[in-house]
Amino acid sequence: MNQSAIARSWVEHANGHRDFPLQNLPLGIFTHKNQAKRCGVAIGDAILDLEGALAAGLFEGQARTAVESTRGGALNAYFALGRVARVALRERLLQLLGEHSEHQAALKPLLLASAECQLHLPAQIGDYTDFYVGIEHAKNVGKLFRPDNPLLPNYKYVPIGYHGRASTIRPSGTDVRRPKGQTLPAGQSEPSFGPCARLDYELELGIWIGQGNEMGESIPVAEAAEHIAGFCLLNDWSARDIQAWEYQPLGPFLSKSFISTVSPWVVTAEALEPFRCAQPARPEGDPQPLSYLLDKRDQAAGAFDIELEVLLLTERMREQNLPAHRLTLSNTLSMYWTVAQMVAHHSVNGCQLQPGDLFGSGTLSGAQPGQFGSLLEITQGGKEPVQLASGEVRKFLEDGDEIILRARCVREGVASIGFGECRGKVLPAR
């Protein structure tokens, strides 16, 4: 067993922490009081100030290069360094924060309470692509509109995706302003304009791109994992009534571009290594991926076992001091395509990927009720409202509602880790 799987930290509140034990060590960008943006590492309920540790002379070699690249309030340059520098930094952090560290006295003043810090987007996002690799979601939604043919013919041959809007991606805690747009009310022949009435969430895995590729060159699927810098949670907020009117023939537009929310910590591939697993076998009769999408190592260990959760907290529930209502408990194992396949397909035509690009997995639903990653599925398009302990019902999201996404990796014999929360509260339309 990897020693780091059972190691403890001298930062006592990190040991057994739900999200950020020593085994995780995700990176993010934060501000503390009036300081400029800087890079930190989540450890328990604290953030280690990496620039402060650098100034204290605690890094050298590739680890020092990695920390130096985080200056300036964004991780793009760090992502561009690739796996070698990332691993060097992780190994040094394990030494510094491990229970037998010789540098505790120097590090203690550099540990800042997370509650006193503000977290920001970890990178400047040049491009954002949203995929559709959650096959159970694709089938659930397809059944609503095409009961006899829920999946279109190309779904099992190609990782479906569309180019999204990067300018309105925001970190957890950012309020969600209800969007306005055109909708076509039932029974009407002409559209009307106004606030969205069918606001929804979508539970997704976010993928941060590390080293990119030159325009005109593709990334082989066998090498694609080397181009992934880390992972986060992503809520692809969706205006379902606007979407239904606008999506033909070119797909989502204003129904998706008003905001997307990400969890602010970048969980590295190395932290997720114990939770890798084989890509679930395709059902008998499904086509094998084309050669440029098929790699034996990726099929054997290219999937992740990550538990995903969605909670709803309404204004009335807050007033009544009621706990948040769990809407969804799902898993990334519902992904029909691996992350490496997504990278390989995105670049196969010569499209240039760049450090700090963000991918969304698409909604990750399970096959059973209680595992659906959107209200569109849970309520069957609004036909079966969710009953809440407060006495309220929900077909879609109302003003004051807050959606909370969580992720957790659990495996026997290994310390569990989490992603931190991805939250957003709905505000009325302007």
**Is 130 marked as binding a ligand?**
yes
Measured CA distances, 205 to 324, 333, 368 (Å): 21, 11, 19
Element (H, E) at 111: strand 111-113
Alpha carbon distances (Å) from 102 to 10, 23, 106, 313: 10, 19, 9, 44
Distance CA 21, CA 26 (A): 10
Question: Mapping DSSP to helix (H, G, I), strand (E, B) and coil, where does residue 129 land?
Answer: strand
Contacts for 280 with CB less than 8 Å, ≥ 6 apart: 303, 333
146 annotated binding-site participant: yes
Count of Cβ atoms closer than 10 Å to residue 222 Cβ: 14
Residue 357 annotated as lining a ligand binding site: no
Contact of 97 with 332, CB cutoff 8 Å: no
**127 is known to lie in a ligand binding site:** no
Half-sphere exposure of 341 (CA within 13 A, CB side): 29
Residue 256 annotated as binding site: yes
Task: State yes or no: 236 annotated in a binding site.
Answer: yes
User: 73: number of CA atoms within 13 Å, CB side?
Assistant: 9
Annotated binding residue at 101? Answer: no
- Which residue among 17, 137, 227, 346 is the active-site one? 137
Can 227 be counted among the known catalytic residues? Answer: no
CB 372 within 8 A of CB 396: no
Cis peptide before 249 (omega within 30 of 0): yes
d(CA 92, CA 41): 12
The answer to whether the annotation marks 102 as part of a ligand binding site is no
What are the DSSP calls for 124-163, one per residue? --S-EEEE--BHHHHHHHHHHH-TT--S-TTTTTS--EEE
What whole-number distance in Å separates Cα of residue 233 and Cα of residue 242?
24
Q: Is 371 annotated as a binding residue?
A: no
**Rounded distance between C-alpha atoms, residue 127 and residue 261, angstroms:** 15
Taking alpha carbons only, the member of 80, 75, 137, 397 closest to residue 259 is: 397
Give the residue carrying structure tokens 């991805």: 422
Which residues are annotated binding-site positions? 130, 132, 146, 202, 204, 236, 243, 247, 256, 260, 363
Q: What residues are labeled active site?
A: 137
Which residues are annotated binding-site positions for Ca(2+)? 130, 202, 204, 236
Which residues are annotated binding-site positions for Mg(2+)? 236, 256, 260
Which residues are annotated binding-site positions for substrate? 132, 146, 243, 247, 363
